[in-house]
Amino acid sequence: MEIRPILSALSRNKTGAFLIAAQIALTFAITINAAYVIRDRLATAARPSGVDDEDRVVAVRFAMTSSQNIDALQQRDVATLRGVPGVESVAITNQIPFGGGGWSGGFAVGNTRESPNVNAGMVFDNGDVLKTLGVKVIEGRYFTPDEIMVIDPDTSRDTPPVVLVTRELAKAMFPSGESVLGKTIYLGNTPDAPAVRIIGVIGLMETPWASVSAKHLYSVVFPQRLLQTENQYLLRLKPGALEQTKQAVLAALAKNDPDRVAGRDGLASIAKMRAKRYRGEHAVAGLLIAVTVFLLIVTASGIVGMASLWVNLRRKQIGVRRALGATRGDIVRYFVTENLLITGTGVVAGVIAAQLLNAALVRQMTLPQLPWPGLAFGVVALIVLGVGSVLGPAVRASRLSPALATRSV
Amino acid sequence: MLKMEGVQKIYRTDLVQTHALRSLSLEVEEGEFVAVTGPSGSGKTTFLNIAGLLETFDGGRYTLDGKDVSGLSDRERSKIRNVKIGFIFQSFNLIPDLNVYDNVDVPLRYRGLGGGDRDKRIKDALERVGLASRLKHLPSQLSGGQQQRVAIARALAGSPRILFADEPTGNLDSLMAREVMNMLEEINVQGTTIVMVTHDPELARRMHRNIHIMDGQASDFDHGSDSRSDAPVDRIAPRIVASV
Ligand SMILES: Nc1ncnc2c1ncn2[C@@H]1O[C@H](COP(=O)(O)OP(=O)(O)O)[C@@H](O)[C@H]1O
Ligand SMILES: [Mg+2]
């Protein structure tokens, strides 16, 4: 409505307006980038693991004493654990999603030096792992019982001849999109690398390290039970059975082998391990959220403070404007328009500053560039913040009496 | 044009109630130039604020331009102030950050007039007060008399039915005061009703009629048709006071 006179009035109060605009620009540049990092980290932490119910799948990790017959003990343990009330299935494996440590190897489509190596997790499945995790075969078939090999690493260097691969790994190794069923891949790209045949493809399955790159979903599942002293059992529990089952499971395991040393976590659900894995992401996001909220509060307070000051300095003028026919709405509009001009200038400068800051961040960290919809949302959000902050002082101004025009203040 | 019957105004603060107007009755006819006089604190400004719809009142009746204004909303009152009333204040009350042109423009913008219409009105009004050459000046670059003339132009630009002036010459030296008074008289001659508050008996003497307010009540004092003649000041002033 009356932009030109507001501008010319503003041009005579440049310092305050400039400070607020600069503050808004800075806030915009920092919060938009912070919001972007927050979103990035939270999205990482929320990635699905492929485990259908992370609260019900738990892992027990321990080291056995080597005097035991590992093969016999593993079978005894599985039988005992299946008998514990609340336990639905039991599997023996070498690694678990979010477990932290595990096996990985380079896989290649050919056994020559030219074949690129793709690093992937190696999951040893005793025949119960996928069922226990709730991970499904989406193409091809699962292992038959007689394909499951029992391998003692001290005496054997055997590799099972058939494997399952995750869909993401299949795509990475065979980008053309053809079916990978029946294809042979090699454990390494050397002439003596063992060859394995793909008989099935599974959907999502998180690796133990859950890295940030796309590789976190690359795994090869081998049909084998490894007779090693470091063991991990995976249990699938009935819903809500975790607390009541915990002691019974640990007691049963202790009874089968009193000398065994349970891992630090004892019995830990996948959900718990996920939380532990993404603690860093959540910490960064939390810190940045705190910084963002703090900045927004400071900026809003700055606007409220400046607007209140201006209302107080212009009490007489507001009364005069009211006397000359301004309605309360006109007065509110005046301050809101003035604020929009300042905020708008600040936000435009902020968009530029945000791009510069983002460019620096993209160079420092692995972050994609700011998306335009995010910027647009930020622009709208800050303008709403600005208008919201000025509304209080503006309404207070509109309640000033027109009689201020004749009463000296 | 303006008629008050038993109008009361009470200011309430936590500790005291001030009966600024006890029971004010008066009438101003269309085309009159009326002076409202009275000692300091007698309620002159209060009267002017109520008459100009800057404040509400607590009792009595007030009709402005044939319309009972007691029940109007804030919005309607703003509209009437904007369209029908012009104000001239003792301390000029120009907006310091706006130049002369934009100051005169203020009430016209609230009226929602088109740019061309506003431009013409602003220039005409400034022409009338002899300041057409100072459009871009800021109030701080003008003398007091010039500032008051800009304020008069601002009041005139909207072609009001009635002008209210509260001590319009109170902050001016006598030369400038005379200039402003001549201007107001000219405006009145051209048809605009003017109600002017003043405590200066010499000025009051020049008006058609004096309304003397004392302790929140009014008494009329008519100078008659020759009131603008050069009757000695000291003869008039005692009579006003004596008439209360
Ligand atoms: N806002 C207010 N609150 C309380 N008392 C007021 C207010 N405005 C004016 N008054 C009182 O009302 C009386 C009349 O004031 P005013 O109309 O300004 O007198 P005048 O203009 O004749 O000097 C005075 O006693 C003054 O102190
Ligand atoms: Mg007064």
Q: Tens of pLDDT along B159-172? A: 999 999 999 998 89
Q: Do B95 and A403 touch (CB under 8 A)?
A: no
pLDDT at B115 over 70: yes
Q: Do B54 and A323 touch (CB under 8 A)?
A: yes
Q: Do A328 and B48 touch (CB under 8 A)?
A: no
Tell me which chain A residue has its CA closest to the CA of residue B156. Answer: A324
Say yes or no: B141 contacts chain A, CB-CB below 8 A. no
Least Cα distance to B173 among B205, B145, B207 occurs for B145
DSSP per-residue codes, chain B? -EEEEEEEEEEE-SS-EEEEEEEEEEEE-TT-EEEEE--TTSSHHHHHHHHTTSS--SEEEEEETTEE-TT--HHHHHHHHHHHEEEE-TT----TTS-HHHHHHHHHHHTT--HHHHHHHHHHHHHHTT-GGGTT--GGGS-HHHHHHHHHHHHHHT--SEEEEESTTTTS-HHHHHHHHHHHHHHHHTT-EEEEE-S-HHHHHTSSEEEEEETTEEEEEE--TTTTS---HHHHHHHHHHT-
Say yes or no: B96 contacts chain A, CB-CB below 8 A. yes
Instruction: Return the number of other C-beta atoms located less than 10 Å from residue A60's C-beta.
Output: 22
Domains recognised in chain B with CATH numbers: 2-95+144-219 (3.40.50.300)
Q: Do A325 and B81 touch (CB under 8 A)?
A: yes
* Cβ pairs A/B, distance under 8 A: 86
Beta strand pairing status for B17-28 and B2-12?
antiparallel
Q: Choose the closest CB to A405 out of B93, B105, B109.
A: B93
ipTM of the complex: 0.89
Residue with tokens 């994609």: A368
Prediction pTM value: 0.79
Say yes or no: B102 contacts chain A, CB-CB below 8 A. yes
Tell me which chain B residue has its CA closest to the CA of residue A320. Answer: B93
Is the minimum distance from the CB of B40 to ligand 1 under 6 angstroms? yes
Q: Near ion ligand 2, which residues have CB within 5 Å?
A: B 45
DSSP per-residue codes, A212-271? SSGGGG-EEEEEEEE--SEEEEEEEE-TT-HHHHHHHHHHHHHHH-TT-EEEEEEEEEHH
In the reported structure, the alpha carbon of residue B90 is separated from the centroid of ligand 2 by a whole-number distance in angstroms of: 9
Domain map of chain A by residue range?
Answer: 4-46+279-405, 65-259
pLDDT of amino acid B232: 34
pLDDT of amino acid B238: 29
Contacts of A98 (CB under 8 A, 6+ apart): A49, A206, A208, A210, A270, A273, A274, A276, A277
Give CA–CA dist A306/A389, Å, rounded: 10
Residues from chain B that touch A327, judged by Cβ atoms under 8 A, are 74-75, 78-79, 110
* Closest CA–CA distance from residue B226 to any residue of chain A (Å): 32
Q: Do A9 and B98 touch (CB under 8 A)?
A: yes
Q: What percent of chain B has pLDDT over 70?
A: 90
Instruction: Return the number of other C-beta atoms located less than 10 Å from residue B212's C-beta.
Output: 23
* Closest CA–CA distance from residue B102 to any residue of chain A (Å): 7
* Closest CA–CA distance from residue A313 to any residue of chain B (Å): 12
B213 in Cβ contact with B64 (< 8 Å) = no
Residues from chain B that touch A405, judged by Cβ atoms under 8 A, are 54, 87, 89, 93
Q: Do A403 and B97 touch (CB under 8 A)?
A: no
Q: Do B78 and A405 touch (CB under 8 A)?
A: no
Q: Choose the closest CB to B55 out of A2, A317, A401.
A: A401
pLDDT of amino acid A242: 87
Least Cα distance to B82 among B152, B28, B160 occurs for B160
Nearest residue (CA) to ligand 1, atom 1 = B11
Residue with tokens 């790994």: A169
pLDDT at B221 over 70: no
Mind listing the pLDDT tens digit of every residue in chain A (409 residues)?
Answer: 578 888 888 888 888 889 999 999 999 999 988 988 899 899 999 999 999 999 999 998 877 766 778 899 999 999 999 999 999 999 999 999 999 888 999 999 998 888 889 999 999 999 999 999 999 999 999 999 999 999 998 888 899 999 999 999 999 999 998 999 999 999 998 999 999 999 999 999 999 999 998 899 999 999 999 998 777 899 999 998 888 898 889 888 888 888 777 766 678 999 999 999 999 999 999 999 999 999 999 999 999 999 999 999 999 999 999 999 999 999 999 999 999 999 999 999 999 998 888 888 888 776 667 788 888 998 999 999 999 999 999 999 999 999 999 987 5
Q: Choose the closest CB to B93 out of A316, A326, A330.
A: A316
Q: Do A5 and B98 touch (CB under 8 A)?
A: yes
In the reported structure, the alpha carbon of residue B43 is separated from the centroid of ligand 1 by a whole-number distance in angstroms of: 6
Sequence-ordered alpha helix ranges (H) in A46-112: 70-83
pLDDT of amino acid B13: 87
pLDDT of amino acid B239: 29
pLDDT of amino acid B130: 93
pLDDT of amino acid A14: 87
Give CA–CA dist A56/A51, Å, rounded: 9
pLDDT of amino acid B223: 56
* Closest CA–CA distance from residue B75 to any residue of chain A (Å): 6
Q: Do B98 and A407 touch (CB under 8 A)?
A: no
Min mean pLDDT across A43-52, B189-198, B208-217 is at: B208-217
Instruction: Return the number of other C-beta atoms located less than 10 Å from residue A329's C-beta.
Output: 12
Q: Letter for the amino acid at A183?
A: K
Is the minimum distance from the CB of B49 to ligand 1 under 6 angstroms? no
Which residue of A15, A324, A408 to mutate against B (max B Cβ within 10 Å)? A324
Q: How many CA atoms lie within 13 A of A126 on its CB side?
A: 23
Read off the pLDDT band of B216 (50, 70, 90): confident
Is the minimum distance from the CB of B216 to ligand 1 under 6 angstroms? no
How does pLDDT run across B35-89, given as a tens digit for each residue? Answer: 999 888 889 999 999 999 999 999 999 999 999 998 899 999 999 999 999 999 9
Tell me which chain A residue has its CA closest to the CA of residue B77. Answer: A325
